[in-house]
């Protein structure tokens, strides 16, 4: 799916935290605390990528992705899209940007956890080449649902 033309990706600013948090609350039954995002902005290994709306209609922030890069490993901790911007290529654009950012920062692998029941997310991640490598039993606090651990080899073994 092609990205919507009025979207741009960049690092989230402190001023955008309220917009991010509105998406978080609308997206998850057990949202992260607001201060967790504030702390993420201060961590040297963490980035919050913001999908901004450069157009005149719709939400100012389409979505966000929290990415950690520590040495040669990257981890997507959180990715969410505003309810009014879903199914328009926002998640795909953010995911590609997160993969590119991790690669540029030296990561060789990227992993994430996703609810076992979230078929749409599984399809998205598998479309980018992620493979399921494990299960985290009863990972989610709200309903004790299992998480699928998914992994993408950003740089294949033997590649520079």
pLDDT of residue 127: 96
- State both tokens at 131: 């493979």
Of the candidates 95, 45, 49, the one whose C-alpha atom is nearest the C-alpha of residue 70 is: 45
d(CA 7, CA 65) in angstroms, rounded, equals: 14
What are the structural domains, with CATH classification, of the chain? 7-153 (3.40.630.30)
**Whether residue 3 has pLDDT greater than 80:** no
pLDDT of residue 2: 46
pLDDT of residue 57: 83
Would residue 113 show up in a list of annotated catalytic residues for this protein? yes
Lowest mean pLDDT among 13-22, 70-79, 119-128, 138-147: 138-147
Write down the catalytic residue from 16, 113, 126, 139. 113
What is the average pLDDT across 106-122? 94
What is the average pLDDT across 57-74? 95
What is the average pLDDT across 122-138? 96
**Whether residue 14 has pLDDT greater than 80:** yes
What lies within 8 Å, CB to CB, of 147 at 6+ separation is 113, 114, 115, 116, 135, 136, 139, 140
What φ, ψ does residue 63 adopt, rounded to 5°?
180, 180
The share of the chain scoring above pLDDT 90, in percent, equals 81
Mean of the per-residue pLDDT values for the chain? Answer: 92
Sheet with 147-153, strands from edge to edge, namely 7-11, 46-53, 61-70, 73-81, 109-115, 147-153, 131-136
pLDDT of residue 1: 44
Q: How confident is the model at residue 142 (pLDDT cuts 50, 70, 90)?
A: confident
Q: How confident is the model at residue 155 (pLDDT cuts 50, 70, 90)?
A: confident
Would residue 126 show up in a list of annotated catalytic residues for this protein? no
Q: How confident is the model at residue 141 (pLDDT cuts 50, 70, 90)?
A: confident
Write down the catalytic residue from 125, 126, 140, 153. 125
Q: How confident is the model at residue 157 (pLDDT cuts 50, 70, 90)?
A: low
């Amino acid at each position: 799916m092609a990205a919507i033309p009025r979207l741009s990706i960049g690092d989230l600013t402190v001023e955008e935290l309220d917009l991010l948090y509105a998406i978080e609350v609308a997206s998850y039954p057990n949202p992260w605390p607001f201060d967790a995002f504030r702390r993420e902005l201060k961590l040297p290994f963490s980035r919050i990528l913001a999908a901004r709306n450069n157009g005149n209609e719709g939400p100012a922030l389409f979505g966000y992705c929290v990415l950690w890069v520590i040495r040669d490993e990257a981890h997507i901790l959180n990715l969410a899209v505003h309810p009014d911007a879903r199914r328009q290529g926002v998640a795909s654009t953010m995911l590609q940007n997160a993969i590119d950012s991790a690669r540029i920062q030296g990561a060789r692998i990227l992993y994430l956890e996703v609810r076992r029941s979230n078929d749409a997310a599984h399809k998205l991640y598998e479309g980018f080449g992620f493979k399921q490598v494990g299960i985290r039993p009863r990972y989610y606090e709200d309903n004790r649902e299992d998480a699928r651990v998914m992994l993408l080899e950003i740089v294949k073994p033997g590649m520079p």
